A and B are shown apart, each in its own frame.
Chain A
Amino acid sequence: MDFQVVVLAGGNSKKLVPLVSKEVPKALLPVANRPVLSYVLEQLEASNLKDVIVVVEGQESALLVGPWISSAYVDRLHVEVAAVPEDVGTAGALRAIAPHLTAKDILVVSGDLVSDVPIGAVAAAHRRNDAVLTAMLCSSPVSGPSDSGSSSGKDKTKKSGHYNIIGLDPSKQFLLYIAAGADVEKDTRIQKSILRSVGQMEIRSDLMDAHMYAFKRSVLQQVLDRKDMFLSLKQDVLPYLVRSQLKSEILLNGATQAEESGNEKANSQKNHVLLSEILANASLPSFHELALGPYGSGHVRRTHKCCVYIASGSKYCARLNSIQAFMDINRDVIGEANRLSGYSLSAHNNIIHPSAELGSKTTVGPHCMLGEGSQMGDKCSVKRSVIGRHCRIGSNVKVVNSVVMNHVTIGDGCSVQGSVICSNGQLQERAILRDCQVGAGFVVTAGSEYKGESLARKEK
């Protein structure tokens, strides 16, 4: 269908420290014991998109991500991994791989997206409207666990950064305004020209930008070339395109058309104009055409279209861009959105690998996951948690609302609530953790008690 897919897999996001480290880049963070990147790749595979360019920030991360992809997706996907220097931003990353982009349209997907929104729908909406940019929006996820768990104060601070302010036209097809909620302090400016031509703008803050965009390649490359200050797709490129949609500075097909018809005879050029007029008159006029006002004849001002695809509420869509989101997604993927994980639930609504060993009187509640080769002692209780592969958990351990990665050792009598314990972490006897993050290989000493802390080994 003449689409090229670019997955921006990121590098070591600072927001996710101590979960990410040199050994585990963001793309490989486990969600239900699968790297988060696999969700995007599998979604692409399901959509029959087999040619993918994965862009990773940092050479070291690329060296970790590349081999994983080639081992997991050999014979399934044709993936090229490109490493870009850190801190070039998403726009910079696209700039770096621009020579490899050849298709008519480019689909840019964030590597931390966990969703089951049909990718084809975004692409189709893009094509149907002949848009320059189509952004996928989904309803913002409810942050924080629904029942007990993390502190509510934290939720609020997290949430304020993630909601977007989005202006839509009445048909909910066109994007008129977009800003990150954090950038908007008290007031914001909306262009009069857009408002005037649309007549009515709907401003919503309950939608989240899912970081899945379809771009017209020629336009994207022009913007990236001309505006070399642009760093981020979301913060620079997107608002720029939305802002300038009625006074477009970019050359659309119009340029090529003019060249073509220039070579032809004047007569046929006239026919061409007539033809495009027939087509334009027959199609439903969007506000772009109406914006020309009573004087415009359609060829004076240039416009381009920025469209949105709003995912239906029944679809799951979340981005792993914070520790809280990491916990939420892990919980959802084995819970309500378990169709994403690809595992089938047991009768008890949980997923326990056959090779896992449970001690006597140990209970694993619904919406839990126990990885391959993990052992649990007696009288343990696991609720709404994910436990990775080859973990050893002693007796009388309580794990609630937590994520325990691979090869973690938890001593007897520990209690873990709302926490993340990274690979090779070690909890000695009777440690009590609440809302903590334990970095890779960190050892929590016996009997210690932590609350809301981030525990990690000091670098070097």
Chain B
Amino acid sequence: MDPRRATRAVIDPKVRQVGFFTAEPDPITITSSPIRNPLSPVMIPPPRQPSESVVRTIVSPHRRDSAVPVGSYNASSYSEFLQATSNTTTSPPISEDLPLVSPGRPINDNSSRAGKIAAAASFPGVIGFDMSGPKAATVLAGGLTTVSVVVNLPPGMSEKGGGGASIEVQNDRPVSLKPLKEKTSKAERRALQEAQRAAKGAAKAGGGKTPTAISGVVTSANVKPTKATKSPSQRNDNASVVASEKKGGDRPLEKDRKKDVPQPRMQYDDMSRVEKAKRRSVVKHTEVRNRVELFRHLPQYEHGTQLPDLESKFFQLDPMHPAVYKVGLQYLSGHISGGNARCIAMLHAFHEAINDYSTPLERTLARDLTAKISSYVSFLTECRPLSISMGNAIRFLKNRIAKLPLTLSESEAKATLQSDIDRFINEKIILADKAIVLHAVTKIRDGDVLLTYGSSSAVEMILLHAHELGKQFRVIVVDSRPKLEGQPLLRRLVQKGLSCTYTNINAVSYIMHEVTRVFLGASSVLSNGTVYSRVGTACVAMVAHAFGAPVLVCCEAYKFHERVQLDSICFNELGDSDAISKVRGREDINYLDDWANSENLQLLNLVYDATPSDYISMIVTDYGMVG
């Protein structure tokens, strides 16, 4: 053991580029299209704006000094930005890119917050808006349903707080773009652009810190506080944008770098952020009291309270598509588990949602649908943290939406997206599995004893296919509590006539000596070769390694992720702690029944673990086998 550990210490920190990594089928990661809302699969992208952030920002006094030109600059250059071709990577639009993300968000949860907003409408800012911006009022009345008027008020208020005419533009921005374009004349726009350029120069000269009244920097700075309270994920975005704004020239580079680095995840030991996230969330979570110290940064909730609460809100969540809702419920209740199945279920739900989708008036499909998908995703994340495969699938879908040609009609665009989704399911999952089966079957010889752990769809297909080919082999299914996923797998294998052995993971070292191959599934393969999989996999792989049995990990290429992870601590999922303390059907051994609230007992139910690449002989993907 010792000598290997020494070698490991050398190996581990090095980032290994596993061969096929350049051929990663996800070109999306590098693109820098302006609309993309980068979404790391592990982050909770919280859609809700805490109501008090609105109130708080209203009263902040220094907002007033940002006078008329600021707002109108914002909007006009924004409309210019629209005119520009889709993939602008030049410097100015990025600051406009920011507010763009927001309009979809508040709308998603308007119904539940309508009351609060209505209450907020009594603020002086609104009165000022009514009196000073008659033009804006007419525009609003023309293009909107009543709900969105109510909802769109706060951003304007919060940014200006009774600051006169500029409000009108701020309000228009999320609402309607085209009328705006007509309204501001070319000359006006040019003048504003000049002003902005001058201001930026001044800002750069002044170290980018002094808030000059008419500068674009102030705009972005103004936007920042309201946004920053909105969500940790966006805070990061904002920070990057603001920072890059100050640096000016090297912005695209900065941006790229930001995109490469995985987004920081929500740290659940940060109390203030947790509170904020909680206020936003649709699913009501009660946190488990006694959490294991090392895993405080991960979300752990008391299971059993969320489902009834979410169920009772079934009809209240208007913006949620029924199909998405159903999938969310199934995640939450554990009806669907397993990376492939969850991903497929989610994509099917999105398929249905896109089918029923229609672009609201005066919005573009690409932007609105992206926001919609984001809101669905955040809902699903609240139900259960996304798996990496799902994150990749979402990225794919969002990229497809962003890349839609603007000339496409709505029905065409929808059809394209739906066929894209179908294609993704077909190519990345179904065909990938078939390819994996074909590759892996070559590794099974007559007389082999194959060991598998848990229940992996890919491994199951391999075993069944090898059996169909008439190969003579024996299967050992290793299982573990509390999920006992191996049992359904065992059932299916035995039904098909395979000869099987079933054992629990505590016996793995006894049974390993007769094993000739170990086939494992994976939730994800990370860029340093670490396999992220069902908890227990690492243990099985290590035992197999010690016994000299080759370990083959079967993983579809769409589950690969560019992240590097060295342990199972910094990113993981915590399951229901009750599941490990209770044994179903054995009332007589439930010693831990009412211990859950005891101060000095902490229950840990990890869902995943990371297996270092040292213990893995080969990874089987749809593109081939990598040793």
Determine if A120 and B316 form an interchain contact, defined as CB atoms under 8 angstroms apart.
yes
A158 in the interface, Cβ–Cβ < 8 Å? no
Partner of A279, one of B111, B336, B433: B336
B92 in the interface, Cβ–Cβ < 8 Å? no
- Select the stretch in B47-55, B148-156, B325-333 that faces chain A: B325-333
B340 in the interface, Cβ–Cβ < 8 Å? yes
Contacts of A153 in B (CB 8 A): none
A47 in the interface, Cβ–Cβ < 8 Å? yes
Contacts of A130 in B (CB 8 A): 326
Determine if A275 and B430 form an interchain contact, defined as CB atoms under 8 angstroms apart.
yes
Determine if B315 and A278 form an interchain contact, defined as CB atoms under 8 angstroms apart.
no
Q: How far is the CA of A285 from the CA of B426 in the complex (A)?
A: 24
Q: How far is the CB of A38 from chain B (nearest CB, A)?
A: 19
Determine if B322 and A2 form an interchain contact, defined as CB atoms under 8 angstroms apart.
yes
Q: Which of A123, A282, A283, A285 has the most CB of B within 10 A?
A: A282
Contacts of B245 in A (CB 8 A): none
With both beta carbons as reference points, the residue of chain A lying nearest to B495 in the complex is identified as A294
Q: How far is the CA of A312 from the CA of B318 in the complex (A)?
A: 25
With both beta carbons as reference points, the residue of chain A lying nearest to B585 in the complex is identified as A170
With both beta carbons as reference points, the residue of chain A lying nearest to B342 in the complex is identified as A282
Q: How far is the CB of A303 from chain B (nearest CB, A)?
A: 16
Partner of B344, one of A49, A278, A285, A294: A278
Q: How far is the CA of A8 from the CA of B457 in the complex (A)?
A: 47
Q: How far is the CA of A275 from the CA of B431 in the complex (A)?
A: 11
Partner of A127, one of B318, B329, B460, B494: B329
A119 in the interface, Cβ–Cβ < 8 Å? yes
A127/B341 contact (C-beta < 8 A), A48-B316, A121-B312, A275-B425 known: no
Contacts of B334 in A (CB 8 A): 284
Contacts of A49 in B (CB 8 A): 315
Q: Which of B312, B318, B344, B425 has the most CB of A within 10 A?
A: B312
Determine if B338 and A127 form an interchain contact, defined as CB atoms under 8 angstroms apart.
no
Q: How far is the CB of A311 from chain B (nearest CB, A)?
A: 10
Q: How far is the CB of B487 from chain A (nearest CB, A)?
A: 9
Contacts of B315 in A (CB 8 A): 1, 3, 47-49, 119-120, 123
B186 in the interface, Cβ–Cβ < 8 Å? no
The 10 closest A-B CB pairs, nearest first, are A120-B314, A282-B341, A118-B312, A124-B311, A282-B338, A121-B311, A124-B314, A128-B329, A48-B315, A47-B315
Contacts of A281 in B (CB 8 A): 338, 341, 455, 457, 460, 488-489, 492
Partner of A120, one of B311, B337, B345: B311
Determine if B430 and A271 form an interchain contact, defined as CB atoms under 8 angstroms apart.
yes
Contacts of A123 in B (CB 8 A): 314-315
Contacts of B455 in A (CB 8 A): 281
Contacts of B492 in A (CB 8 A): 281
With both beta carbons as reference points, the residue of chain A lying nearest to B312 in the complex is identified as A118
Within 8 A of A (CB), among B441-470: 455, 457, 460
B335 in the interface, Cβ–Cβ < 8 Å? yes
Determine if A274 and B430 form an interchain contact, defined as CB atoms under 8 angstroms apart.
yes
B313 in the interface, Cβ–Cβ < 8 Å? yes
Determine if A128 and B341 form an interchain contact, defined as CB atoms under 8 angstroms apart.
no
B310 in the interface, Cβ–Cβ < 8 Å? yes
Q: How far is the CA of A125 from the CA of B335 in the complex (A)?
A: 12
A: which residues have CB within 8 A of B?
1-3, 47-49, 104, 118-121, 123-125, 127-130, 268, 271, 274-275, 278-279, 281-285, 294, 312
Determine if B335 and A1 form an interchain contact, defined as CB atoms under 8 angstroms apart.
no
With both beta carbons as reference points, the residue of chain B lying nearest to A282 in the complex is identified as B341
B624 in the interface, Cβ–Cβ < 8 Å? no
A285/B488 contact (C-beta < 8 A), A2-B322, A48-B316, A119-B315 known: yes
Beyond A124-B329, A130-B326, A268-B426: 13 further Cβ-contacts under 8 Å? Answer: A47-B316, A48-B111, A120-B314, A123-B314, A123-B315, A124-B310, A127-B322, A128-B326, A128-B335, A271-B431, A275-B344, A279-B345, A281-B489
Contacts of A128 in B (CB 8 A): 311, 326, 329-330, 333, 335
Determine if B341 and A283 form an interchain contact, defined as CB atoms under 8 angstroms apart.
yes
Contacts of B329 in A (CB 8 A): 124, 127-128
Q: How far is the CB of B139 from chain A (nearest CB, A)?
A: 28
Determine if A283 and B322 form an interchain contact, defined as CB atoms under 8 angstroms apart.
no
Within 8 A of A (CB), among B20-71: none
Contacts of A282 in B (CB 8 A): 336-338, 340-342, 457
Q: How far is the CA of A47 from the CA of B312 in the complex (A)?
A: 8
Q: Which of B431, B457, B494 has the most CB of A within 10 A?
A: B457
A1/B344 contact (C-beta < 8 A), A120-B316, A128-B330, A284-B334 known: no
With both beta carbons as reference points, the residue of chain B lying nearest to A44 in the complex is identified as B315
Q: Give per-residue flags for B402-440: 1 if the beta carbon is below 8 A from chain A beta carbons, else 0.
A: 000000000000000000000001100111010000000
With both beta carbons as reference points, the residue of chain B lying nearest to A5 in the complex is identified as B315
Partner of B335, one of A119, A268, A284: A284
B134 in the interface, Cβ–Cβ < 8 Å? no
Q: How far is the CA of A104 from the CA of B322 in the complex (A)?
A: 10
Q: How far is the CB of B355 from chain A (nearest CB, A)?
A: 12
Q: How far is the CA of A128 from the CA of B334 in the complex (A)?
A: 10
B308 in the interface, Cβ–Cβ < 8 Å? yes
Within 8 A of A (CB), among B500-546: none
A1/B426 contact (C-beta < 8 A), A127-B325, A282-B340 known: no
Q: How far is the CA of A12 from the CA of B80 in the complex (A)?
A: 68
Contacts of A275 in B (CB 8 A): 344, 425, 429-430
Contacts of A1 in B (CB 8 A): 314-315, 322, 325
Determine if B314 and A283 form an interchain contact, defined as CB atoms under 8 angstroms apart.
no
Q: How far is the CB of B617 from chain A (nearest CB, A)?
A: 26
Q: How far is the CB of A61 from chain B (nearest CB, A)?
A: 28
Q: How far is the CB of B91 from chain A (nearest CB, A)?
A: 45
Q: How far is the CB of B596 from chain A (nearest CB, A)?
A: 20
Q: How far is the CA of A330 from the CA of B29 in the complex (A)?
A: 64
With both beta carbons as reference points, the residue of chain B lying nearest to A286 in the complex is identified as B335
Within 8 A of A (CB), among B73-103: none
A279/B341 contact (C-beta < 8 A), A121-B308, A271-B426 known: yes
Q: How far is the CA of A281 from the CA of B463 in the complex (A)?
A: 15
A283/B330 contact (C-beta < 8 A), A127-B325, A278-B344 known: yes
Q: How far is the CA of A283 from the CA of B488 in the complex (A)?
A: 10
Q: How far is the CA of A268 from the CA of B329 in the complex (A)?
A: 29
Contacts of B312 in A (CB 8 A): 118, 120-121, 124
With both beta carbons as reference points, the residue of chain B lying nearest to A127 in the complex is identified as B326
With both beta carbons as reference points, the residue of chain B lying nearest to A3 in the complex is identified as B315
Q: List 29 A-B contacts (CB under 8 A).
A: A1-B315, A1-B322, A118-B312, A118-B314, A120-B312, A120-B315, A121-B311, A121-B312, A123-B314, A124-B311, A124-B325, A127-B314, A127-B322, A128-B311, A130-B326, A271-B430, A274-B430, A274-B433, A275-B344, A278-B341, A279-B345, A281-B457, A281-B488, A281-B489, A282-B338, A283-B335, A283-B336, A283-B337, A284-B335
Q: How far is the CB of A459 from chain B (nearest CB, A)?
A: 43
With both beta carbons as reference points, the residue of chain B lying nearest to A2 in the complex is identified as B322
Contacts of A312 in B (CB 8 A): 308
With both beta carbons as reference points, the residue of chain A lying nearest to B326 in the complex is identified as A127
Q: How far is the CA of A294 from the CA of B334 in the complex (A)?
A: 25
Q: How far is the CA of A355 from the CA of B189 in the complex (A)?
A: 66
Q: How far is the CB of B579 from chain A (nearest CB, A)?
A: 13
With both beta carbons as reference points, the residue of chain B lying nearest to A274 in the complex is identified as B430
Q: How far is the CA of A49 from the CA of B433 in the complex (A)?
A: 43
Q: How far is the CA of A130 from the CA of B325 in the complex (A)?
A: 12
Q: How far is the CA of A266 from the CA of B455 in the complex (A)?
A: 28
With both beta carbons as reference points, the residue of chain A lying nearest to B458 in the complex is identified as A278
Q: How far is the CA of A48 from the CA of B310 in the complex (A)?
A: 15
Q: How far is the CA of A275 from the CA of B460 in the complex (A)?
A: 14
Q: How far is the CA of A275 from the CA of B429 in the complex (A)?
A: 9
Contacts of A124 in B (CB 8 A): 310-312, 314, 325, 329
With both beta carbons as reference points, the residue of chain A lying nearest to B425 in the complex is identified as A275
Q: How far is the CA of A271 from the CA of B430 in the complex (A)?
A: 7
Contacts of B495 in A (CB 8 A): 294
Contacts of A129 in B (CB 8 A): 335
Q: How far is the CA of A3 from the CA of B317 in the complex (A)?
A: 13
Contacts of A47 in B (CB 8 A): 314-316
Within 8 A of A (CB), among B239-274: none
